[in-house]
Amino acid sequence: MTTRAVQYDFSGKVVVITGGSRGIGRAMALGFAAAGAQLAIASRKLETCEATVKEIRALGADGSAHAAHVGKWEDCNRLAEEVYARWGRADVLINNAGLSPLAPSSVETGEELFDKIIGVNLRGPFRLSALFGSRMAAGEGGSIINISSTAAIRPDPETAPYAAAKAGLNILTVAFAKEYGPKVRVNCIMCGPFHTDISKGWSRTEDFAKRAKETFPLQRAGEAEEVVGAALYFASPAASYTTGAILTIDGGSAHLITRTTYES
């Protein structure tokens, strides 16, 4: 049995994180960097990825920045090629990039917006999991971690396409776990309400604070850093017998609120 220190030592490992330049993605990137990993940070804006890479290097690790729109098939292909060209391997893929715009109503949701939401939240993780997972399975193995949302099990009309995409991501977690096991483990973190730069429009309001205090067991939204431990666990040897799992991190709110648009 390995010790906890060894289990969470990612020295020599390469971790790929989409949406890794801000919010939960950035927190995970810094957490893995502190554990010795090398990071490939991807998002649509190269400059924000480069800023995160600077933070990674300040922690004594190394990283690479990649501009990629995961909703585009060709960008997913290019990202995989860039990562393997730069690092020669990928040990962990974290499908974190997400898009959750509100819509006035379902009938007012246009085809372009619908396709964009499905593309970023479902098509991209599918393609990237296939690209990285197949290489991991043919090589030394690895871990894929999907970042989902409690919208998948508690949908609202305003975010129906997003909720459907995240429910699909939960399903892909199990499907890829079956396809690429036993060498590749595929798991999912299903997030509830978190304070991030994207959510600040609602998560810092008095209305949300009041509702959280009245209805959440932990009485608050989460902080991005509070997902890091789960990601480290799923990626590490400590989770050697864990695959196809969906872990809810939501302050206990999943089954306590009947209506909310508070997604991660």
Q: Catalytic residue numbers?
A: 162
Helix, coil or strand: residue 124: helix
* Contact call for residues 160 and 104 (beta carbons, < 8 A): no
Q: How many angstroms separate the CA atoms of 166 and 100, rounded?
A: 10
Burial class (CB in 10 A: 0-12, 13-18, 19+), 37: buried
Helix, coil or strand: residue 129: helix
Nearest to 98 by CA among 153, 149, 172, 155: 149
Helix, coil or strand: residue 104: coil
Q: Where are the alpha helices (H) located in 13-72, listed in sequence order?
A: 23-34, 46-58
Cis peptide before 182 (omega within 30 of 0): yes
Q: How many angstroms separate the CA atoms of 44 and 67, rounded?
A: 5
- Count the helix, strand and coil residues of the chain and give each as a percent rounded to the nearest 5: 50, 15, 35
- What is the longest distance spanned by two Cα atoms in the chain? 56
